[in-house]
Chains A and B, each alone.
Chain A
Amino acid sequence: MTGKPATGKPETGKMVGVDVGGTFTDVFILDESTGRAEVAKVPTTRPDQSGGFLAGIGRHESDLSRIATVVHGTTAGTNALLERKGARIGVITTAGLGDVLEMRRRDRPRTWGLRGDFEPVVPRDLRLEVPERTLADGTVRTPVDLDAVRAAAARLRDAGCLAVAVLFANAYANPENEARAVAAVREMWPNPHVSCSSEILPEIREFERFSTTALNAYLQPEVAGYLDRLETALRDGGFGGEFMIVQSNGGVMSAQTACAVPVRTALSGPAAGVIAAGYIAQMAGYPDVITGDVGGTSFDVSLVAGGQSMLSPQTSIDFGMTIRQPMIEIATIGAGGGSIAWVDKGGLLNIGPQSAGSDPGPVAYGRGNTRPTVTDANIVLGRIDPDSPIGGTLTRLDTEAAARAIDLHVGAPLGLDTLAAAEAILRVANSRMAGAIRLVSIERGFDPKRFAFMPFGGGGALHAGAILAEVGLARAIVPRYPGVTSAMGCVIADMRQDFVQTVNAAADQVDEAALGVLMQRHMGQGMAMLDAARARFEARDTVFELDMSYAGQTHTVAVPLPVEIAAGVVTPPTRAEIAEAFDRAYHAAYGRLLKNGLRRVINLRSAVIGRRPKFDLASLAPTATGPAEAARRATRRVHFGDSWHDTGIYARLDLPVGAVIAGPAILEQMDTTILIEPHLQGTVDRFGNIIIEGKP
């Protein structure tokens, strides 16, 4: 690790974070000179999202020239993948291996049932083979046939392809054939969207590398067009600062990099949310936190330990659509507000995976769904106000219809009355959410009990109390603006660039000098990226890891390398240091070492991070003074356990710092409902977060 003083150009002016969701565009504006922050929430505009984007910023800043940086967390890439709306692209690949993208790793969509098929994003007739072959040791056995490459490129161009991915076997070991092929394609077909697998991911495993590269090409035209529209709109409005994008790894990159490597945006929006959640929790004094985002169809869980969010090396956006890039680890289960409750033929109550989503949505929305959802249970129990639903588009919820649906589909088959059936739905839903939390923590080797829970998104705070009880957590933290967490994360996120290079050598035979050259190159490229950015950095860190294993093992362990960097020069570790570092990491992961086991180095992973100055969360703190009861707006009957309780309804944002609200209570704000159960209380901390804990 290294720290050196910030050298970026001085910035005054405002930092703006923008998260464009399906319904709302959230904006978070930070004035770096004063430390003041403001938030806005406006409807998302379609098909051109720049309208909502500018409208949201315009709520608090009419002069775009006063803005230094706009950081965007986007779901444009994710949605293009999920909806299969990327560009028509072609592939040029090694003779004999044209079907790798379609054959995957010989898996199937679901364990049981043997149903379902798979269509890769590049159909077979647009995957063209050319003579070329590199062996595993990097030897070029067959030099690439450039005439064949040019002929293939011409065919793809004539077939209307907008991007080309060059995918050659063993290109991680020697990129020469790929590089020559790419040069040949670019020469005859000037096109910004020509890429090859060794540029995008120089890592062993052809399916993962090819899939990542092909999905990148698939996204390039779409994402580049989208970001270009946004940037043009900003520039036309007078914006002269830097436009940046959040990556799936939780760091930001320039919009230019995002256009070249859009596959790194696959989890951009959710990653920003986790970054913000981690920061808020750490500031509040709880560096270990599990975040939970309750959406319409899913519950997304992520874990932050010691202020660090977890990264996973790859993810599948959908069956067969694998992206191998470091991403913030987010586990998803199909239990959201719109998940449907049903009783199976064996008499067991189930939640999901079928969902009514947000359209048609719960029965109470009156838009045609007749099967009860988790939200319907919350409505029937009085936990959501039927007369002023959050989300803005509906004026009233139909509680009676929700009750009838619960009676028909859950109450009758189980012999329960409406309220008991609604409580049952919540209990099973909460239990599933708790299970997801247990699994993400346990799989990582953490005891969940030491974590705080942070709900964000619209519905999470309704379930916080139940999740505390189920998992045995001490407290939940509800951020002051849970609905704009992702937008806030955009402003907080560090700038980050990840690199990987497969080494594939026995640890006692690693070429230390060559490893040093690779490390130096990664650091140089990363620092150049930071230099080019106009953002201000408090510090710059370079982190090196090796993926290592014992010979014969297929799972690797991430081995952090203690590396010395003096005056910008990396001193690579010795073989002995590598062996020692592996033993330490392996022991920590699995408990015992293997006597006489042969250690292998598979990949070098490097990350260069520009630490962004953090803003003072206290600037978001409530300014209200006076008694908490001044924020009380009403009293409503709410059902808990087996009886109705008169429950105070509070305007959450009007509560002063230090206020303690004893349960039962409901705190409402524009986009969130916070439920404090009878045995719990909520305290407003100095940042305006609500800390939910047991009553003393």
Chain B
Amino acid sequence: MTEIDPITLAVLAGRMEQIADEMDATLFRSAFNPIIAEAHDASHGLYHAQTGDTLVQGKSGLPIFVGVMAFAVKAVIEKAAADGDLADGDIYIFNDAHIGGTHLSDMRLVRPYFRDGRLFCYLASVGHWHDVGGAVPGNYNPAATDAFQEAFVLPPVRIARGGIMQQDIVDILMRNTRLPQSAQGDLNGQLNALDLGVRRLDALLDEYGAETVAAALTALGTRAETLMRAELEALPDGRWEAEDYLDNDGISDAALPIRVALEIRGDRMTLDFTGTAPVTAGPVNIALPTAVATAYVAIKHMFPGLPANAGVMRPIDVVVPEGSLLSAAFPAPVGGYTETILRMIDVIFSAAAQAAPDRVVANAYGTINALSLSGKRANGQPWVMFSFFGGGHGGSPETDGLNHGNAPISTATIPPLEILEAAYPVMFRKWALRPDSAGAGAHRGGLGAVYEIELLEENARAFLFGERGRFAPQGVAGGGAAAMNRFVYEQDDGWHAPPLVSKMVGIALKKGQSVRLETPGGGGYGAPHDRPAQAVARDVAKGYLSADAATATYGDAWREAGQ
């Protein structure tokens, strides 16, 4: 193995990160569907030739993919070994979530990179396609009981062989989506990103030599491991537990516990999810790769300076019992994976707060709230409005939580209401912060939001895939819980709430009727009695907090305090 000097290493670290960043930028710019173009629900990186471990990953992709992509590459490595004829210019494609993690909407492209006839590493691209078949347009089907109802399932197959596109595969893909144009646009974008990655790697290896770059990749992994061990070493030894619940699985109304025991011994950490609910009929299961990747997301939020490579996870053991909903086997439905992994992050934070309160923030709002409205225009043209909605972030050691943020697993922005109103027959009666939704604390949580959407044409149906309707986001370090998710819809006889509170399929709405989503705030950080009375008075003056709630939570001192 070539020794590498620390300066060349620093330079190469930047250069390789830039390759992945450029691949991200290429897809964001040219992708067709807004989930990639605007919400950046995609990711790119370089992966180890033999193990598939993440070597380098782009900074602008979706956080959850940082950990999960390695599993996609491992799946391709296994498939390629079985195929036995991996060649330069091959590109594998698949969406099978049980081997690649996340859900079936995420299309993964994996391309071996050869140098001088030898496999040097893999390049991969993942992006969330707008539609991949299944029972529900957009693939968020809260009532799915197996993967086949969620989407069509593609195992790893070659979409290109030796640089030649396999049109048969493209044809199959395009026949299995409701939005072939969008899918073709996204596929082109992902192929372009991989092409660009190959060109950039060629240039880098020409400049520095394959041996030096390989040595740098190894050294970067070691360095990440060293960093992680140093961080863990600085924390106290011990074992801390936390639990929380999912409302239900969308099929039967039973709460589902998510439990973790976080143990630190020296420079190692174990996250043990024993005690978590077993596999469910409905789609809140996740596959094992997703569970491991989620642990990585939580850890990187706690130690944001850590690099994005596999070395970080070497000192960390993730224990997921077989049969748990965190390691569901094919074909258990996994479409609502976002809700489950948000809860995993919440319990990891709650456990870590007991070990190292300065490292974590309180729970964020904890649900993606995938809400869709669909119908037919007067001229017969179908429409589907589909979006995720925001909520409050948890209070932190430094500040109150952010009002109306995006989910910790995502960096997605929300479309402007004017874009939604221009595209669909809806009007937002309300798009506002939700008073009294923040968890109390020395640093309170951020506020959730209220969205009230009126239907402007006849006959539409509403779908919701949410969570936190029965269990509130928790505070840490003595902070209080936030308000829960609340969804109601209007019918001829008034407002109703769905029986499964946070999940609902196909409620019919008439012109002039509305749906109203009130999202959770974030949990509080630190004991409420440590919050200065002036800060409480200011919250009341701004209408973040009602006078009654202020007094009930913080006492009466705020009435005497100036702002």
Binding site for B on A (CB under 8 A): 96-100, 102-118, 123-125, 133, 135-136, 141, 169-170, 172, 204-208, 344-350, 414, 423-424, 427-428, 431-432, 435, 438-439, 442-443, 504, 550, 552-555, 590-592, 594, 596-597
Contact = CB atoms under 8 A, between A and B. Distances in A.
Interface string B232-253: 0000000000000000000000
A112 B59 CA distance: 10
A212 B433 CA distance: 21
A348 B408 contact: no
B408 A114 contact: yes
Q: Which 5 interchain pairs have the tightest Cβ spacing?
A: A346-B223, A112-B304, A106-B390, A113-B304, A346-B227
A349 B418 contact: no
Given A114-B408, A206-B418, A99 B361 contact: no
B10 interface: yes
Contact of A133 (B34, B59, B427): B427
B521 interface: no
Contacts of A555: 29, 37-38
A118 B429 CA distance: 25
Interface string B404-427: 111010011111111101100001
Contact of A169 (B7, B29, B393, B417): B417
Contacts of A109: 402
A550 B32 CA distance: 9
Contact of B433 (A103, A115, A205, A431): A103
Contacts of A208: 416
B300 interface: yes
B390 A96 contact: no
A350 B227 CA distance: 14
Contact of A344 (B32, B305, B396, B404): B305
Contact of B7 (A96, A349, A552): A349
Nearest to B359: A113
* Chain A binding surface, main DSSP class: loop
Interface of B: 6-7, 9-11, 13-15, 18, 21-22, 25, 29-30, 32-34, 37-38, 59-60, 63, 179, 181-182, 184-185, 188, 192, 223-224, 226-227, 230-231, 300-301, 304-305, 307, 361, 364, 389-390, 393-394, 396, 398-406, 408, 411-419, 421-422, 427-433, 446, 449, 452, 456, 541-544
* Chain B binding surface, main DSSP class: mixed
A136 B418 contact: yes
Given A108-B393, A206-B418, A439-B22, A100 B431 contact: yes
A350 B10 contact: yes
Nearest to B40: A111
Contacts of A594: 32, 181, 184-185
Contacts of B34: 552-554
Contact of B18 (A103, A106, A116, A438): A438
Given A108-B411, A111-B63, A124 B361 contact: no
Contacts of A116: 396, 398-399, 402
B416 A103 contact: no
B543 A125 contact: yes
Given A106-B414, A172-B418, A346-B223, A118 B402 contact: yes
Contact of B418 (A106, A112, A170, A552): A170
Contacts of B25: 443
A102 B433 contact: yes
A115 B361 contact: yes
A96 B304 CA distance: 37
A403 B312 CA distance: 34
A125 B538 CA distance: 10
B18 A102 contact: no
A672 B412 CA distance: 43
27 contacts: A96-B428, A98-B432, A106-B389, A110-B304, A114-B364, A117-B399, A124-B543, A124-B544, A125-B541, A169-B418, A170-B421, A206-B417, A207-B416, A344-B227, A345-B231, A346-B223, A347-B223, A348-B10, A349-B6, A428-B10, A435-B14, A439-B22, A443-B25, A504-B422, A550-B181, A554-B38, A594-B185
Nearest to B28: A555
Nearest to A108: B405
Contact of A96 (B32, B418, B429): B429
B418 A348 contact: no
Nearest to A594: B181
In this complex, the member of A100, A133, A553 whose beta carbon has the largest number of chain B beta carbons within 10 angstroms is A553
Nearest to B33: A552
B57 to A, nearest CB: 12
A103 B418 contact: no
Contacts of B185: 553, 594
B7 A428 contact: yes
A112 B63 contact: yes
B342 to A, nearest CB: 12
Contacts of A110: 304
Given A103-B404, A136-B422, A427 B433 contact: no
Contacts of B412: 106
Given A439-B22, A552-B33, A428 B11 contact: yes
Nearest to A109: B402
A552 B422 contact: no
Nearest to A430: B11
Nearest to A595: B181
Contact of B403 (A118, A136, A350): A118
Given A125-B541, A442-B22, A114 B396 contact: yes
Contacts of A443: 22, 25, 29
B11 A431 contact: yes
A98 B304 CA distance: 34
A100 B305 CA distance: 32
Contacts of A97: 417, 428, 430-432
B10 A349 contact: yes
Contact of B6 (A348, A554, A591): A348
Contacts of B393: 108, 114
A99 B414 CA distance: 14
In this complex, the member of A118, A205, A345, A591 whose beta carbon has the largest number of chain B beta carbons within 10 angstroms is A345
Given A206-B418, A349-B7, 5 more contacts: A114-B364, A114-B394, A116-B398, A117-B400, A346-B230
Given A99-B431, A204-B418, A442-B22, A424 B6 contact: yes
B492 to A, nearest CB: 22
Contacts of B301: 112-114
Given A96-B430, A115-B361, A590-B30, A427 B11 contact: yes
A585 B400 CA distance: 46
